[in-house]
Structure 1
Amino acid sequence: MADRDPQIVAEDAQPFEDAMAQDDADIARPAKAPRNWRRLALMLAVPLLIIGGAIGYWQSLQGKVSTDNAYVQQDKVSVSAEVGGKIVSVAVREGQQVKVGDVLFVVDQAPYQIQLAQADAAIASAQANATALASSAAMSGADISAAREDIGFAQANYERQRALWERGFTTKAAYQAAQHQVAQARETLKLAEAKQTEAQAKLATGSQVPGVLPAIAAAQAQRQSAQLNLSRTVVRAPLAGRITQADRLLAGQEIVSGLPVVTIVANAQSYVEANFKETDLAEMKVGQPATIEFDAYPGVKLKSHVASIGAGTGSEFSVLPAQNATGNWVKVTQRVPVRIAIDQASPRPLIAGLSSHVTVRTDGKSR
C-alpha cells in the first residue's frame, strides 16, 4: 500500500502541472490587437451616430414649420325657411348630393295663398274706388256749377231787395234774408271747390309711383309681398353640395322662420385651417408651398400653399378672451389660424373636420 501511494500522487499531479504550463504560455502570448480595436471603434461609433443623427434631424427641421393642430374645412350653409309653417313634403335625405335650385322641402302654402287672394281683393277695391271717385260729382264739377247758379240767383234777389229797401217797399227782414242767401251761396261754392280739390288730390299720382294711384300701388305692394311669401314656401338649395344634419327635416313638423333645419356642405374646393404657434410665423409668408397629411388616410400627401395668415390669434376672437391684466399671469404661446389651400385633387374624399398635419416650407422649396 505504501508502495502504491507515490504512484497515485504522481498521477494526480501530472494534470495540474500541465494546466500550469498552459497558463504560463497564455501569459507569455501577447494580446490580440484586433479585438481591442473593434471594441474601441464600437465605443466611438455609438456617440458619433447619436451626434450625427441629432445634426441630421436638426438640419431636417430647418426651412420648414409644421403643426398637427390643423383640420379640413369646407364651406357650408345652414338652410332655413323664410316663412313659418308646417312642412308638407321633403325632397332630400341625409348625405344626398344636390344642385343649385333643387327643392329641399315645401312649407304649407294654404295660408299664403289666402294672403295672395286678399291682396288681389285689395287691388280690385282700390281700382273700384278710383273709378267711383273719378266719376263723382265733385270731380265732374256739377256741384260747383250749381253753387254758381245759386250765387247768381241770390245776388239778383239781393239787388231787388236792396232797391225795394231803399224805396221803403220791403221789410228789413226780407232785405237781410237776401244778403244771407248770397253769403250762403258763396260758401256753398267754396265747399264744392274744396271737394273737387280733395277728389283731384286722391286721384293724383306721386313721384315714387308715377302714373299709379297710391291706393292701388299700396294694394299691389301687398300682393307682391304675399306672392313672395308664397314662393318662399318652396325651399331650394342655394348651392351645390351634400345634405347633412337633416334630422329635423320631417314632414308634419312645424318650423319657425329663420331657424336652420338642414345644412349643405359645398362641393367646392376644400381647404385646411392650420393653427400655428406664433413663434413659427417669423419666416412664414403667403404663397409658400406646403404639404398636407391626414390622420384618416395614411400615406396620402397633398401639395398645397399658404393662402392667408389670420389677422388675430384664436384667443382674440374667442367668446371669452383671456384677461391677462388681472390676477396671476402665465405666458402661453398663442396660436394663429393659417389658411392652407389645396393645390391637387385628393384620391380620397375630404370630410369637413378631418385632422391633418401641415408642413410649410419657409425656404420656398417644394420638398
Structure 2
Amino acid sequence: MADADPRIDRASATETETVILAPPLTGMTEAPAKRRVWLCPVLMISVPLLLIAIAGYFWLTAGRFVSTDNAYLQQDKVSVSADVAGRIVEVAVRENQPVKAGQLLFRIDPAPYRIALAQAEAAIATARVQVSTLATDSGSAAADISSAKADIALAQATYGRQAELMKQGFTTRASFDAAAQQVAAARARLATANASANKARVQVGSGTGGSGAPAAVQAAMVQRDKAALDLARTAVYAPVAGTISQSDRLQVGQMMITGLPAVSVVAAHAAWVEANFKETDLNKMCVGQPAEMAFEAYGGLKLKGHVQSIGAGTGSEFSVLPAQNATGNWVKVTQRVPVRIAIDAASPRPLIAGLSTNVTVDVRGHC
C-alpha cells in the first residue's frame, strides 16, 4: 500500500531531487574559497614588499633634491625709445612679430632735421667767410705794425735832433716836447697794431685736436655732425633680435617724446629661470649643481640646466615696501632667495617670458 500511496511517491521524488542537486552547489562554493586561499599569501608578501620599496626609495633620495614651484621663466626685455622727438610717420612692425637686430621699427618725420642739417651746412660756409675776413685783417695788422715801427724810427730821430738843438739853445721847449710826444704816440700805435695782429692770429688759428681747421669752422662742423646724427636717428632700429611686445604706442601720427619707451623687444638669444627657494633649502645648494625644469604650459616638457648664481639678498630686501621686523607683532616668515637657473639645451617649444616653472635641483654634490 505504501508503494501505491501517491503522497509517499511525491515525498520520495522531492528527496531524490534534493540529493541530486546538492553536489553542484557544493562545487560552486569551493572554487572562490580556493582562490581566496591563494590570494591571501600573495597579498601578505607583496604589500609589505611594496611598502619597504617605497620607504627605501624615500630613504635613499631624502635630502638629494630640493624643489620649488615659485619659479618663472625670464628673458631680457629691451625698451626701445627715440633719441629725437617728432611725429611718427611710419610703423614697420606689429605686436608679437619676430625681428632681427638692425631691422627698422618705426620712423619719425625727418623734415625738421633735414632743415637743421642744411642750416648747419650754411653755418660752415659762413664760418669760412669769417675766417677769410680775419685772415685779411691779420695781413692789415702786419702792415700797421710796419708803419708803426717806421713812425717810431722817424719820431725818435726827430726827438734826437730836438734834444741836440735844445742843448745848444737853438730850439724851443715846445718843439722838444712835441718831438717827445710823437715818439710816445708812435709806440702806442705799434702796441695797438701788435694787439690787433695777435687777435687776428688767434681767431684764424687752428681748433682743437690738431685738425688744422680754424676754431670757428670746427665749431660749425660739430653742429653739422650733430644735425646729421639727429637726422639719422629719426629711423629707429631693433637693437637685438627678438619678439616685438607692447607696440600699442606705435601709431602713425602720434608724437614721440625723447626717452619715452615706445616698444619692447623680448630678446631671443637668452632665457633663464628665476627660482625663489626657501632659505632652508640653501644649505647644500651651490653654483654648478644640475637642475631640471618642468613648465606648466607644456605638459611633459623638461629641460636640463644648472645653478648659475644665488641671489645676494632675499626678495623682501628689494621690495618697494620692505618688511618692518622691529615691531611688536612680528611674526617669523621663511624668506625666499632668488636663484638663477641657466638652461643648458635648446627648447623644442617656444620659451615665453613669465611662464610658471617647477625647478628641482640635485644637491648631492656638496659645495
- Scaled by the length of structure 2, the TM-score of the pair is 0.81
Paired residue for 2:131?
A: 130
| In the alignment, structure 1 residue 232 sits paired with structure 2 residue 230 | no
Distance in structure 2 (CA, Å) of the matches to 1:35 and 1:106: 84
Unaligned runs of 5+ in 1: 1-31
Aligned to 1:311: 312
Query: Which one is further off, 112-121 or 186-195?
Result: 112-121
C-alpha distance in 1 between matches for 2:174 and 2:126: 51
Whole-Å Cα distance in 2 between the matches of residues 35 and 298 of structure 1?
Answer: 42
CA distances 1:311-359 after superposition (whole Å, capped 9, x unpaired): 2211122222223234332111111111112222323211110101111
| Mean CA deviation greater in 241-250 or 323-332 | 323-332
Quote how far apart the aligned CAs of 1:62 are.
3.6
* Equivalent residue number for residue 3 of structure 1: none
CA–CA distance in 2 between the matches of 1:153 and 1:264?
Answer: 82
Q: What SS is found at the alignment partner of 2:313?
A: coil
Q: CA deviation at 1:296?
A: 1.0
Question: 2:141, 2:194 within 8 Å by CA — same for their partners in 1?
Answer: no
Task: Specify the alignment match of 1:8 in structure 2.
Answer: none
Deviation (angstroms), 1:230: 1.4
Match of 2:252 in 1: 251
Is 1:285 the counterpart of 2:264? The answer is: no
Cα shift at 1:169? 4.9
Q: Is the 8 A contact 1:139 1:200 kept in 2?
A: no
Give the drift of 1:90: 0.7
Alignment partner, residue 25 of structure 2:
none
Instruction: Verify: 1:149 aligned to 2:150, yes or no.
Output: yes
Which residue does the alignment assign to 1:179? Answer: 180
Aligned CA distance change for structure 1 residues 207 and 255 (closer, same or farther; 3 Å):
closer
Pick closer, same or farther for the CA change 1:174–1:272 going to 2, 3 Å: same
SS of residue in 1 equivalent to 2:315: coil
Q: Tell me the secondary structure at the aligned position of residue 269 of structure 2.
A: coil
| Distance in structure 2 (CA, Å) of the matches to 1:159 and 1:344 | 102
Q: Residues 212-262 of structure 1: CA distance to partner in whole angstroms, max 9, x if unpaired?
A: 322222222222222211111111010111101100011111111111110
1:285 deviates by 2.1
Task: Name the CA distance, whole Å, in 2 between partners of 1:137 and 1:95.
Answer: 66
- SS of equivalent residue, structure 1 residue 199: helix
Aligned amino acid, residue 146 of structure 1? S
Question: Is 1:138–1:192's contact at 8 Å kept on the other side of the alignment?
Answer: no
Q: CA-to-partner distance for each residue in 1:30-64, whole Å, 9 max, x for gaps?
A: xx9x9899999989998997787566446554410
CA RMSD of aligned residues (A): 3.0
Given the superposition, is the C-alpha separation of residues 82 and 206 from structure 1 closer, same or farther in structure 2, using an over 3 Å criterion?
Answer: closer
Query: What is the distance in 1 between the residues matched to 2:345 and 2:161?
Result: 109
d(CA) in 2 for partners of 1:289 and 1:176? 105
Counterpart of 1:198 in 2: which secondary structure?
helix
Aligned AA (1:361) = D
What residue is the counterpart of 1:204 in the other structure? 205
Question: What is aligned with 1:10?
Answer: none
Match of 1:108? 109
| Residues 191, 99 of structure 1: alpha-carbon distance in 2 compared, 3 angstrom cutoff | same
How far is 1:280 from its partner?
0.9
Amino acid aligned to 2:144:
D
Asked if 2 retains the 8 angstrom alpha-carbon contact of 1:302 and 1:346, the reply is yes
Query: Structure 1: which amino acid aligns with 2:241?
Result: A
Relative to the length of structure 1, the TM-score reads 0.81
Contact 1:276 1:337 in 2 (8 A): yes
Q: Is the 8 A contact 1:209 1:217 kept in 2?
A: no
